A and B are shown apart, each in its own frame.
Chain A
Amino acid sequence: MIKIKDLEKIYRTEEVETVALNKLSLEVKEGEFVAVMGPSGCGKSTLLNILGLLDDPDGGSFMFNNIEVAHFNERKRADLRKHNIGFVFQSFNLIDELTVFENVELPLIYTGVKSAERKKRVEEVLDKMQIMHRRNHYPQQLSGGQQQRVAVARAVVNRPKLILADEPTGNLDSSNGNEVMQLLTDLNEQGTTIVMVTHSEHDARYSHRIIRMLDGQTVLENIMV
């Protein structure tokens, strides 16, 4: 599904040049659950942004489903992204002015799903995440765990092939964290590919494979059994 070769990303300011990704190569197969670990500043988030088509690399190749996307323009990336990729963030990133239902509905609106179908699918996924009873609440009225479940619901409502999770449990206590990890595992078992950035060894153990990064390169891969 994802094939990256010699990927480079360099951040420049007037005085400093920071190499975020240094000739990084990586492959993620369909149906895999991969955890990316490494110290702060090692390039994890940069990698995730590029995988999520939010950012473009400065060099190297990025094949998504056998299509070279490294040099896609903004519009093409947005199009590919909205149909194929779901995001889960550490800080949830729900829109405060929208209710739970409306937040989850948002990706469907942007992919042009009809209203009746949207309702059905949002309710389906809210049911699965067990937050149906909160559908008309606003994000601030929910606990952190509930907010993250809404965020996961939003990530999967469009039935993406790939979910990118950026420290999904970082803002949660351990029981809520475990719940979210279980959700992701269930999704993965149903066939969704997951790439997760995490600091937590505990969370990483939910994955099939751990990629450890340092200074913009992969340094080690652990296969989980």
Chain B
Amino acid sequence: MIKNYLKIAWRNLKRNKGYALLNMAGLAMGMASALLILLWVNDELAYDKFHANYDRLYQFYENQTYDGKTFTFAAMPGPFAPAAKQEIPEIEYITRTDWGTRHHFSFGDKNIYEWGLFADPDFLKMFSFKVLKGDTSKFLKDPTSLVITDKMAERFFGKDDPIGKTLKVNSDRLFTVMGVVQQPPVNSTIEFSWLASFKIYEGRNQWLRNWGNNGIQTYAQLHENADPVAVNRKLKDFISNKDSSTIAKPFLFGMKDWRLRSEFEDGKQTGGGRIEHVRLFSVIALLIIIIACINFMNLATARSEQRAREVGVRKVMGADRFSLVRQFFGESMVMSFAAVILAGFIVWLALPGFNKLVEKTIEFDFSNPVIWAGLPGIAILCGVLAGSYPSLYLSSFNPITVFRGMRAPRGSAVSVIRKGLVVVQFVISIGFIISTVVIYNQIKHVMNRQLGYSKDNVMIIPLRGGMNEHFTAIRNDLLATGVVDNAAKSNSRVISLNSSSGDFRWNGKDPSKQLLITLEWVSPEYISTMRMQLAAGRDFYPDATRDSSNVIINETLARIIGKPNVVGEKLYRESGEELTVVGVVKDFVYGNLYKEPEPLVLFCQPSAVNSLLVRLKDGQDVPKSTAAVESVIKKHAPAYPFEFRFMDEDFNNRFKTEMLTRELSKWFAILTIIISCLGLFGLAAYTAERRTREIGIRKVLGASVTNMVVLLSKDFLQLVALASILAFPLSYWLMHNWLDDYAYRINIEWWVFVLAGGLAMLIALLTVSFQAIKAALMNPVKSLRTE
């Protein structure tokens, strides 16, 4: 019996190649996009799971409350880890790390920057980074030794044994390779190419001894059966007990939430974060599958007239309803499995591009559950989803009715359902179009935001070797090239200022209120190089020493201090430091680009900096200018490969998530429109076929081709119009919610809806009118004879 079904299914496909192709193409496209999304979702869910003690690994976070508002940080004070390990018995292992740095390594003629971490010896005991070579018990203890990854070892030593080899770091210190670990997998939150003893970092950063300075990351593994709630109770006042002037309340943040649920609001985990994207994309995958299955259902029921006689005959021959349901299910399964094979092929082809889009390195690998379980799973899901309604409908035909008219009953219910399904497809498609446009506009809106400085033509060059000390000479050489407008030094990259402190006071400040203020250390040329504007007071003097205890604040802080003339005001810090405000810089946007600027203090301390900011003259040839800058830098730091980024690239990178959302939304819109139109195309074809006789008669009676096209397209366009009307409020609501996350945002304009609705109508019209014109041009004599 199954053989008979498969046979019929196969011959049906062969006989109706066009129909089969439309159906398969739509279904396969839907399946492929769902599979790609599932691959992404699976990759996100698999983050950090390779750690054997995944459930027992934590990072320490801390809450700090300022002015009633609680902020959550990952930064911890230096003495915390050793003290916690001694005093909290539940902690099995604990390690500190810095935030990761790129250092310059050289071996022979090889010069490469490598990213790595300073860590305590427990690091490799708690995290499951596979050790390939070396004695684990000695790792990270000796401050002149390194553990490197196999990939880094290959870069420097090729096939040679790296153990015992010496690498020169930052062209002065020598480190011996003591161990090799496997490169962390791509879905690891913690990334590194090398690990070095935390003692080195500790030795260089005296502030680490202070309980009030939060500046490093700390991780722990708890003992089996240890209760994290009990640990959190012990942690709560751990830091304030050591230093009563601190306000940090540490707590454990479980590894299972690092990747997907890292959002905190007012000191509490919201449960949000990337998981929202995971959920959203899963829903979208399902929507696309549904759209594709709707095509299948509609095309199957639309051509039911062709199958009606077969159903009648089979029933007369003794088939009961159940065996017919099974038969039609069988057919949709055959179609679905054929489509999934095609989908697998599409995924395989699209994966490189998709990886580039979402910045992943997912491979088409049959050990991946999304591939080995997802492919057949999706096939079965689609087979059932797409086959359910047609099989129930087709198997319901009454043989007597069928034989009498040789036609399926023109049930109004079925055509209503068919129309309803088309509307559903277009509601989703139009929704995606609207979302794409809104997201596009929002990104454009923020990117065009007046920043308060000019981000164009600024090179950011990391200060290496003696570059910091020789800044004045470098700057003079740069200006002498003729392509450089100005140059300055800063600690951060302007767009993101990372340091902040709550210990500022001034006369008249409410002592009960703590205020978190952003800090930045710059050279005197900073404001002029960045083309920022002063609102009051003066810029720093060219001779930095004259301003060593003077600061420039931003307008926001000036407003908070709230005095008519803030220039000359004194600021006091916990350490006893006394600072004088000499100027007020106009607010510029940094950090969260969607929010208003936070209060800021600029220190004139050219030694405490990391980056060289070089502003090129406007309108110059960029490659030539950068080459000129490179030759100057090479002259002063010959041992280091030249590295730089443009500030506007840096700026654009800040929109990665939004850009990704935009790109995905765009592709979803294109896909859903294509799939929906494939369905519409098929439906139009069948409508035209069914109405061949009517068209023939109308033509004989004198109807024009235009009349015919209108006649045949009208019904479909009405459906798309209805879909628009339904999609408008729905997508307005969705997009309004999305925009709600951004303080600096656009309003949703009415033309977006008109555009999306109009676009959908136009595409639908083109799709349908092709069939309509074809039908209308048919010779009426021929079409009348077919009856």
Q: Which residues of A contact B (CB under 8 A)?
A: 45, 49, 52, 54-55, 74-75, 78-79, 81-83, 87, 89, 91, 93-98, 102, 105-107, 109-111, 154
Distance of A11 from chain B, by nearest CB (Å):
11
Are the C-beta atoms of A109 and B316 separated by less than 8 Å?
no
Taking a contact as CB atoms closer than 8 A, the residue among A45, A78, A91, A102 that contacts B315 in the complex is A78
Residues of A within 8 Å of B270, CB to CB, are none
Query: A110 with B316: in contact, given A54-B399, A97-B8, A98-B8 (CB under 8 Å)?
Result: no
Q: Which residues of B contact A (CB under 8 A)?
A: 1, 4, 7-8, 11-12, 15, 309-310, 312-321, 323, 399-400, 403-404, 406
Are the C-beta atoms of B4 and A82 separated by less than 8 Å?
no
Are the C-beta atoms of B316 and A87 separated by less than 8 Å?
yes
Are the C-beta atoms of A106 and B12 separated by less than 8 Å?
no
A54 to B7, CA, bound (A): 27
Residues of A within 8 Å of B8, CB to CB, are 95, 97-98
Are the C-beta atoms of B310 and A110 separated by less than 8 Å?
no
Are the C-beta atoms of A93 and B315 separated by less than 8 Å?
no
Residues of A within 8 Å of B15, CB to CB, are 96-97
A-B contact pairs, 11 of them (CB 8 A): A54-B315, A74-B320, A75-B320, A81-B316, A87-B316, A95-B309, A97-B11, A98-B8, A106-B313, A109-B1, A154-B317
Pick from B15, B318, B400 the residue with the most CB of A within 10 Å: B318
A11 to B404, CA, bound (A): 14
Are the C-beta atoms of B318 and A95 separated by less than 8 Å?
no
A111 to B310, CA, bound (A): 18
Taking a contact as CB atoms closer than 8 A, the residue among B312, B317, B406 that contacts A106 in the complex is B317
Chain A to chain B: the 5 pairs with minimum beta-carbon distance, closest first:
A82-B318, A110-B318, A97-B11, A107-B317, A78-B320
Residues of A within 8 Å of B12, CB to CB, are 97
| A103: nearest chain-B partner, CB-CB | B313
Taking a contact as CB atoms closer than 8 A, the residue among A55, A83, A106 that contacts B400 in the complex is A55
Are the C-beta atoms of A95 and B7 separated by less than 8 Å?
no
A107 to B317, CA, bound (A): 5
Are the C-beta atoms of A97 and B310 separated by less than 8 Å?
yes
A49 to B399, CA, bound (A): 10
Query: A74 with B318: in contact, given A93-B312, A98-B7 (CB under 8 Å)?
Result: no
Residues of B within 8 Å of A87, CB to CB, are 316-317
Are the C-beta atoms of A102 and B7 separated by less than 8 Å?
yes
Are the C-beta atoms of B320 and A93 separated by less than 8 Å?
no
A105 to B15, CA, bound (A): 21
Taking a contact as CB atoms closer than 8 A, the residue among A45, A105, A106 that contacts B314 in the complex is A106
A79 to B323, CA, bound (A): 13
Taking a contact as CB atoms closer than 8 A, the residue among A45, A55, A82, A97 that contacts B317 in the complex is A82
Residues of A within 8 Å of B323, CB to CB, are 110
Taking a contact as CB atoms closer than 8 A, the residue among B1, B310, B315, B404 that contacts A95 in the complex is B310
A115 to B708, CA, bound (A): 52
Are the C-beta atoms of B313 and A78 separated by less than 8 Å?
no
A154 to B316, CA, bound (A): 11
Are the C-beta atoms of B318 and A111 separated by less than 8 Å?
yes
| B323: nearest chain-A partner, CB-CB | A110
A107 to B320, CA, bound (A): 12
Residues of B within 8 Å of A45, CB to CB, are 404
Are the C-beta atoms of A94 and B313 separated by less than 8 Å?
yes
Are the C-beta atoms of A93 and B309 separated by less than 8 Å?
yes
Taking a contact as CB atoms closer than 8 A, the residue among B11, B309, B319, B406 that contacts A110 in the complex is B319
Inter-chain pairs besides A89-B403, A107-B317, 5 sampled, C-beta below 8 Å: A82-B317, A93-B313, A96-B15, A98-B7, A110-B314
A95 to B306, CA, bound (A): 11
Are the C-beta atoms of A93 and B403 separated by less than 8 Å?
yes
Residues of A within 8 Å of B318, CB to CB, are 78-79, 81-83, 107, 110-111
A208 to B753, CA, bound (A): 76
Query: A110 with B317: in contact, given A55-B400, A102-B4 (CB under 8 Å)?
Result: yes
Residues of B within 8 Å of A74, CB to CB, are 320-321
Pick from A93, A94, A96 the residue with the most CB of B within 10 Å: A93
A70 to B320, CA, bound (A): 18
Distance of B425 from chain A, by nearest CB (Å):
29
A98 to B314, CA, bound (A): 12
A74 to B317, CA, bound (A): 14
A52 to B312, CA, bound (A): 13
A61 to B8, CA, bound (A): 39
A57 to B400, CA, bound (A): 14
| B314: nearest chain-A partner, CB-CB | A106
| A53: nearest chain-B partner, CB-CB | B316
Are the C-beta atoms of B400 and A78 separated by less than 8 Å?
no
Residues of A within 8 Å of B315, CB to CB, are 54, 78
Residues of B within 8 Å of A81, CB to CB, are 316, 318
Distance of A20 from chain B, by nearest CB (Å):
11
Distance of A213 from chain B, by nearest CB (Å):
18
Distance of A55 from chain B, by nearest CB (Å):
6
| A81: nearest chain-B partner, CB-CB | B318
Distance of B309 from chain A, by nearest CB (Å):
7
Residues of A within 8 Å of B312, CB to CB, are 93
Distance of B778 from chain A, by nearest CB (Å):
22
A74 to B319, CA, bound (A): 11
Residues of B within 8 Å of A93, CB to CB, are 309, 312-313, 316, 403
Residues of B within 8 Å of A49, CB to CB, are 400
| B315: nearest chain-A partner, CB-CB | A78
Residues of B within 8 Å of A105, CB to CB, are 4
Residues of A within 8 Å of B310, CB to CB, are 95-97
Distance of A43 from chain B, by nearest CB (Å):
13
Are the C-beta atoms of B1 and A54 separated by less than 8 Å?
no
Are the C-beta atoms of A52 and B316 separated by less than 8 Å?
yes
A6 to B50, CA, bound (A): 80
Taking a contact as CB atoms closer than 8 A, the residue among B4, B309, B399 that contacts A109 in the complex is B4
Distance of B201 from chain A, by nearest CB (Å):
76
A128 to B310, CA, bound (A): 26
Query: A78 with B319: in contact, given A54-B399, A93-B313, A106-B314 (CB under 8 Å)?
Result: yes
Residues of B within 8 Å of A96, CB to CB, are 15, 310
| B12: nearest chain-A partner, CB-CB | A97
Residues of B within 8 Å of A107, CB to CB, are 317-318
A107 to B316, CA, bound (A): 9
Distance of B6 from chain A, by nearest CB (Å):
12
A157 to B185, CA, bound (A): 67
A93 to B309, CA, bound (A): 7
A168 to B404, CA, bound (A): 15
Distance of A74 from chain B, by nearest CB (Å):
7
Distance of A111 from chain B, by nearest CB (Å):
6
Residues of B within 8 Å of A98, CB to CB, are 7-8, 11
Distance of A109 from chain B, by nearest CB (Å):
6
Are the C-beta atoms of A54 and B316 separated by less than 8 Å?
yes
Query: A95 with B400: in contact, given A78-B318, A82-B318, A107-B318 (CB under 8 Å)?
Result: no
A105 to B318, CA, bound (A): 12
Residues of A within 8 Å of B406, CB to CB, are 91
Pick from A55, A81, A94, A106 the residue with the most CB of B within 10 Å: A106
A45 to B8, CA, bound (A): 30
Are the C-beta atoms of A54 and B319 separated by less than 8 Å?
no
Distance of B17 from chain A, by nearest CB (Å):
14
A79 to B7, CA, bound (A): 24
| B404: nearest chain-A partner, CB-CB | A45
Are the C-beta atoms of A54 and B400 separated by less than 8 Å?
yes
A109 to B1, CA, bound (A): 6
Distance of B306 from chain A, by nearest CB (Å):
9
A109 to B315, CA, bound (A): 12
Residues of B within 8 Å of A110, CB to CB, are 314, 317-319, 323
| B320: nearest chain-A partner, CB-CB | A78
| A78: nearest chain-B partner, CB-CB | B320
Distance of B140 from chain A, by nearest CB (Å):
72
Residues of B within 8 Å of A55, CB to CB, are 400
Distance of A50 from chain B, by nearest CB (Å):
10
Residues of A within 8 Å of B316, CB to CB, are 52, 54, 81, 87, 93
Residues of B within 8 Å of A75, CB to CB, are 320
| B9: nearest chain-A partner, CB-CB | A97
